[in-house]
């Protein structure tokens, strides 16, 4: 392997989202066309044939940037000297499978955390994506005590982009012209889209939507309504959308945001009455390979109510994990 190549590991690599993501990384969309990458495909031993086929396809995609493709079934092998790690969740055939599946992932998350703690580079960047990203990232942090506090984030970018497009439609604007939109909390409901500070150029978005006759409660309901495709499984378009969101999240983290706010699931610093250490989506500014919290935000009563709902939802997952797997279960730390 080229010593200058960045080692990028992706878990559950045989899934549809992983395949779209890996192809994008091989094309240079994560680190740029001039940065060689060494991909590591991690999955269980039952998917070795799929992984070998995928590795062959990837070698034809990233001709200029892809230096090597490694297949791994052991996280210690996959994460050894890793520069970047993307933890996807196991593929689910339907929304009906989700309840209780997090319980089955706990031991796997422990194995991932211990492998990262033991073998990854100390400046590794780890992003958790997929369902239950808040609690999965929180659990992962429990098993990586030797990594920096900012080493693990989770992405809410797919939700953010969906909300951004909905808000733009209310303003009849280009979604990418909107700045300072905040998505607080956890993925999907009860996330809280906060558009009080959003603007298009110098024009405040609240003024624009009010001029069209929309009050704040109506806009909020419009922004948080479930997507028509939510919970119906993964198709190629959805996989591409999620992969694009993960790439955008990681590139902001690596390259910086030039002073712009982005929403990322990060460990709370205790501001805004969000418990310290809770993995929670909040506004940050990325620069120099890390992130800074945006603290100069007033939280009004409407926001307090919705933030409280989101905090309670994430804490409920934390308490359920502790109750089931610490006090009575097999983890015991």
Mind listing the pLDDT tens digit for each residue in 284-317? Answer: 999 999 999 999 899 999 999 999 999 999 999 9
What average pLDDT does range 3-29 have in this prediction?
94
Q: What is the CA radius of gyration of the chain?
A: 20
> What 3-state DSSP class applies to 289?
coil
Beta strands 182-184 and 199-200: pairing type? unpaired
pLDDT given at position 332: 38
Mind listing the pLDDT tens digit for each residue in 73-82? Answer: 999 999 999 9
- The pTM of the full predicted model, rounded to 2 decimals, is 0.92
The string of DSSP codes covering 172-205 is TS-GGGEE--EEEBSSSTT-EEE-TT-EETTEEH
Cα–Cα–Cα angle for 37, 50, 57, nearest 5°?
A: 45
Six token digits for residue 314: 């994430």
pLDDT given at position 99: 46
Pick the range with the lowest mean pLDDT from 102-106, 151-155, 224-228, 242-246.
102-106
pLDDT given at position 232: 46
Distance, in Å, from the CA atom of 235 to the CA atom of 239, rounded to the nearest integer, reads 6
Six token digits for residue 96: 């009906």
DSSP secondary structure letter of residue 81? T
pLDDT at 330 over 80: no
CB atoms within 10 A of CB 63: 9
- Before 190, cis peptide (omega within 30)? yes
The domain limits of the chain are 6-154, 157-315
Pick the range with the lowest mean pLDDT from 6-10, 95-99, 148-152.
95-99
Six token digits for residue 283: 């506004």
pLDDT given at position 323: 78
Six token digits for residue 116: 């990262």
pLDDT given at position 234: 53
Six token digits for residue 24: 């994008």
The domain 157-315 is classified under which CATH number: 3.90.110.10, 2.60.40.10, 3.40.50.200, 3.40.30.10? 3.90.110.10
CATH entry 3.40.50.720 includes domain 6-154: yes
pLDDT bucket at 4, cuts 50 / 70 / 90: confident
DSSP secondary structure letter of residue 324? I
Using CA atoms in the order 180, 186, 188, 194, what is the torsion angle rounded to 10 degrees?
-30
Distance, in Å, from the CA atom of 329 to the CA atom of 326, rounded to the nearest integer, reads 5
Mind listing the pLDDT tens digit for each residue in 88-142? Answer: 987 765 545 554 545 558 889 999 999 999 999 999 999 999 989 999 999 999 9
Report the sign of the C-alpha dihedral through residues 113, 117, 120, 122, in that order: positive
Greater pLDDT, 60 or 155: 155
pLDDT at 268 over 70: yes
């Amino acid at each position: 392997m080229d010593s200058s190549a960045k080692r990028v590991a992706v878990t559950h690599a045989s899934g549809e989202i992983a395949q779209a993501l890996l192809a994008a990384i091989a094309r240079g969309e994560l680190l740029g066309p001039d940065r060689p990458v060494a991909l590591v495909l991690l999955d269980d031993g039952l998917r070795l044939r799929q992984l070998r086929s995928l590795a062959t396809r990837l070698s034809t995609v990233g001709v200029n940037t892809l230096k090597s493709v490694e297949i791994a079934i052991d996280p210690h092998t996959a994460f050894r000297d890793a520069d970047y790690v993307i933890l996807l969740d196991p593929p689910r055939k339907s929304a009906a499978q989700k309840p209780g599946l997090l319980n089955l992932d706990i031991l796997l998350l422990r194995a991932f955390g211990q492998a990262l703690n033991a073998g990854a580079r100390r400046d590794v960047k780890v992003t958790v994506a997929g369902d239950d990203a808040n609690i999965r990232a929180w659990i992962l942090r429990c098993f990586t005590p030797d990594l920096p506090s900012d080493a693990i984030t989770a992405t809410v970018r797919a939700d953010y982009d969906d909300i951004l497009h909905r808000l733009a439609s209310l303003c009849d604007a280009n979604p990418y012209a909107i700045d300072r939109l905040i998505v607080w909390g956890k993925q999907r409901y009860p996330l809280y889209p906060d558009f009080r500070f959003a603007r298009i150029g110098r024009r405040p978005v609240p003024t624009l939507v009010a001029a069209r006759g929309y009050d704040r409660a109506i806009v909020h309901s419009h922004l948080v309504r479930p997507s028509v495709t939510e919970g119906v499984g993964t198709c190629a378009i959805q996989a591409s959308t999620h992969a694009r969101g993960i790439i955008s999240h990681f590139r902001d983290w690596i390259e910086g945001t030039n002073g712009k706010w982005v929403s990322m699931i990060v460990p709370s610093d205790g501001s805004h009455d969000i418990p310290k250490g809770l993995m929670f989506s909040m506004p940050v500014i990325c620069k120099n390979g890390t992130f800074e919290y945006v603290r100069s935000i007033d939280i009004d009563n409407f926001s307090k109510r919705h933030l409280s709902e989101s905090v309670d939802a994430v804490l409920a997952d934390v308490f359920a994990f502790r109750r089931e797997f610490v006090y009575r279960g097999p983890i015991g730390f």
